A and B are shown apart, each in its own frame.
Chain A
Amino acid sequence: MSLSSKDKAAVKALWAKLSKSADDIGADALGRMFQVYPSTKTYFSHWNDLSIGSGPVKKHGKTVMGGVGLAVANIDDLVKGLFELSEKHAFELRVDPANFRILTHCLLVVVASKFPADFTPEAHVAFDKFLAAVSLALSEKYR
């Protein structure tokens, strides 16, 4: 299920509309994820506040979306472009890759709620494929 040129164009077009709100989207998606999927909180036991709108959640949402933006910019070679993030996730963070799908779903829900007109089924399939490819690139060095 690799990205066609049509997929890449759709992702870039959607990102152009989303990028100004990237920080909000990231914070909303993360906060939502912790509430809807409590098992994901296990990776953040060192934070004092995982509630929606909290400082740590906002800050980390921004970090995560920075990664998504980096992926969009490197959409033609995600494995190469996300090399350092991939190493970080493999050797330092060791987040179970099942969680990438969970965060992807929360991101899609937030994008749908904030940009209903832009998040057409066509944009949805391209973005879902893209985030799946990003997840794959991030888990590239796991084993």
Chain B
Amino acid sequence: MVEWSDQERSIINSIFASLDYEDIGPKALSRCLIVYPWTQRYFGGFGNLYNAEAIKTNPMIAAHGIKVLHGLDRAVKNMDNIKATYAELSVMHSEKLHIDPDNFKLLADCLTIVIAAKMGTAFTADIQAAFQKFLSVVVNALGRQYH
């Protein structure tokens, strides 16, 4: 069972309450595909990923980034049982999508950096700690049903 302090809950809820999904989602996913190009292996059917500019302007990637970011909503609503909340999604990522779970961490790191860029100096160490803790619990839950 993951223990969350009141401050951590407040930080997570606050970040997601004011999150611009249409902006952050595409930025996080495209950054991941640019910074860690091997992650492109999972996006064979997504059109032109030939260079950074193509990735940044790719509408399919943008749409998918928004979808993935909204995937975090259920964790925000179920912070006390993220493990169970993602059991089904974990099975899907393993058996249908065949995604190496290491990639979850790469995307999480890119999301952290995009949020840091958006919040600027308001992205304090406390907020970073809470956000990274939250993401690592999600990443863990998503990798849990792999076998």
Contact = CB atoms under 8 A, between A and B. Distances in A.
Interface stretch (B62-70, B83-91, B116-124): B116-124
Given A108-B113, A124-B31, A128-B35, A31 B125 contact: yes
Interface string A110-143: 1011101001011011001000000000000000
A108 B35 CA distance: 12
B48 interface: no
A122 B34 contact: yes
B144 interface: no
Contacts of A119: 113, 117
Contacts of A105: 109
Given A36-B132, A121-B34, A113 B123 contact: yes
A35 B120 CA distance: 18
B127 to A, nearest CB: 10
B134 to A, nearest CB: 12
A116 B118 contact: yes
B35 A32 contact: no
B113 A35 contact: no
A36 B133 CA distance: 9
Interface in A71-128: 105, 108-110, 112-114, 116, 119, 121-122, 124-125, 128
- Specify the main secondary structure of chain B where it touches its partner: helix
A18 interface: no
B56 interface: yes
A127 to B, nearest CB: 10
Contact of B113 (A31, A52, A124): A124
Contacts of B52: 121-122
B129 interface: yes
Please give me the 3 A-B residue pairs with the lowest Cβ-Cβ distance, nearest first.
Answer: A116-B117, A121-B34, A112-B117
25 contacts: A31-B125, A32-B128, A35-B126, A35-B129, A36-B128, A36-B129, A52-B125, A105-B109, A112-B114, A113-B116, A113-B117, A113-B123, A116-B117, A116-B118, A116-B120, A119-B113, A121-B34, A121-B35, A121-B52, A122-B34, A124-B34, A124-B35, A124-B113, A125-B34, A128-B35
Interface of B: 30-31, 34-35, 52, 55-56, 109, 112-114, 116-121, 123, 125-126, 128-129, 132
